[in-house]
Structure 1
């Protein structure tokens, strides 16, 4: 078994897809019309992806997701070369933080497009 995808709501799925594909060497797997007059872009690899969705109406803000029921705390992404990934993230203008080295791997975090937090981890 494996996790196939996570669906997140973002203001501009095409813009978010462009950033994530550049950072993680992902591709657009699919894009098109979605439920409720919305639009989705699926980015990832052959095994898993993020579904980036925007509804056909104005988005609302519910506050800090760390304190919201069913809030999204972060999205974890495994990479082979942590230093290379951090260089790409920094070059794209995102500040990295919370660097850690504990079992089972090394990691860092960054607040990416749409203020979504990402954990980048390497088990190499």
Structure 2
């Protein structure tokens, strides 16, 4: 079986830059990356070497609730093997993408929790 580790959680906030600043002040974390994100929004990845919190904001003010979990990111060694196991359990995967520096896909579990599965291998 592939080794897997929690890599990140992604949450919606009103001001990702301000949230990132608070997280660095409170916990001594670093901004690992920031830039354009899904649906035209903006995200900051704040944390340490092995894991981070992705703080995301929509491009315009919206009625979407803040403080909610968007997805859980799981890092795996073998993306194809992980996807095969997930599909074997009857789950549909979606939003496959190759990007720098890796590959990813998403799926929703039976409780509606979205997972992002990532590999940098």
User: So what's the TM-score if we normalise by structure 1?
Assistant: 0.48
Greater strand share, 1 or 2? Answer: 2
Determine which structure has the larger helix proportion and give its number. 1
TM-score (norm 2): 0.49
